[in-house]
Structure 1
Amino acid sequence: MNNTPKMLNDFLKYYSTVLRYMDSYISEPIKQFHLTFDAFLIMHEIGSSRQPLLLMDIAASHHVSRSAISRQISILLKYEYVYQVANPADRRQKSLLLTAKGQDIDQQLIDAIQNVFDSWVKQLGSQRVEGMLDFFSDFTTQVIQSPEN
């Protein structure tokens, strides 16, 4: 006899199905450039920033350790998608910037992901997608960033 509440069962079923589906469609174009989704997000954040970013800034915004971000940055450096510039006042601080190659790949990937996202909006409707994004926003602020966690 299964005593698991229906809501939890539904969550488990949809979590694995939906996230696997979303991951495959979003990650597929990213893989061709030897990137993980996390490395792509970091690359995109660096490219979208109005000012050079430090590794510690990226770690803080992603809520992970500096060593976790450092591993992703090493991939971006290896494929020459980003470069580092040392702070003249403190050479230990290195700002991260996208190379021209990194800018081009970031734009290609954003375009590919935009096409996938647009198809979801077309299928589901913008109100439902906005509702999902509102849920993700609430989950981030109320659960992930909660002082209780």
Structure 2
Amino acid sequence: MKVQQLLDEYIDVYIKSLKYLDSFVSEPATAYNLSFEQYLILHDIAEKSNVTLARIADNRGVTRSAISRQIKVLLNLDYIYQQRDDKDHRRQYLHLTPRGRQIEEIVTQKASDRFTSWVNIFGQEKAESLLDFIKEFSEVAKLENNGKASE
């Protein structure tokens, strides 16, 4: 297969199929007025201790203002609250409210159930192989982008 034909097929698959992966993951969150990014923040807070806006931004490689916008929505929905650090009043830790914990658990379970059904359809080996390829692709793309940034 020629490279141009491969690119054309990739674009076709992307347009027709890969966009469904986004909805597959984000759909359970939309029922609770959450974007996928907002759900990921809830999930981080549920899974880790001493979560701060800065740590989330650093881990995701995005700006603090981007995370701040997401956090503002979560605060307004009363899914999270902020608590100042006793030792450094500039630092605020993020915590789930009882409602936020409930929503995070529901969405996590729904996403897990959907993912499990897909793994059952395609098989564990194929799911792992796809994940390995995506990881490898991401690493190569990151290296290529870093190389271009230094030019």
**Would the TM-score normalized by the shorter structure come out above 0.5?**
yes
Amino acid at match of 2:131: L
Amino acid at match of 2:89: R
Amino acid at match of 2:108: I
1-side partners of 2:88 and 2:138: how far apart?
34
Q: Aligned-residue CA RMSD in angstroms?
A: 1.9
Equivalent residue pairs, number: 146
Q: For residues 64-108 of structure 1, what are the alpha-carbon distances to aligned partners after superposition, in whole Å with 9 as ceiling and x for unaligned?
A: 000000011111111111111111222221111112211111110
Amino acid at match of 1:75: V
1-side partners of 2:35 and 2:142: how far apart?
22
> What is residue 112 of structure 2 aligned with on the other side?
114
CA shift at 1:4, angstroms? 7.1
Amino acid at match of 1:21: Y
> Which residue of 113, 121, 124 maps to 2:122?
124
Amino acid at match of 1:8: L
> What is residue 54 of structure 2 aligned with on the other side?
56
> What is residue 4 of structure 2 aligned with on the other side?
5
1-side partners of 2:63 and 2:108: how far apart?
26
Gaps of 5+ in 1: none
1-side partners of 2:55 and 2:108: how far apart?
22
Comparing 55-64 with 89-98, greater Cα deviation is found at 89-98
Comparing 102-111 with 22-31, greater Cα deviation is found at 22-31
Amino acid at match of 1:48: E
> What is residue 45 of structure 1 aligned with on the other side?
44
Q: For residues 98-148 of structure 1, what are the alpha-carbon distances to aligned partners after superposition, in whole Å with 9 as ceiling and x for unaligned?
A: 122111111101111111111111111111111111122223333236632
1-side partners of 2:110 and 2:63: how far apart?
29
Amino acid at match of 1:24: S
> What is residue 105 of structure 1 aligned with on the other side?
103
- State the TM-score, normalized to the length of structure 1: 0.89
Gaps of 5+ in 2: none
CA shift at 1:39, angstroms? 0.6
2-side partners of 1:56 and 1:97: how far apart?
14
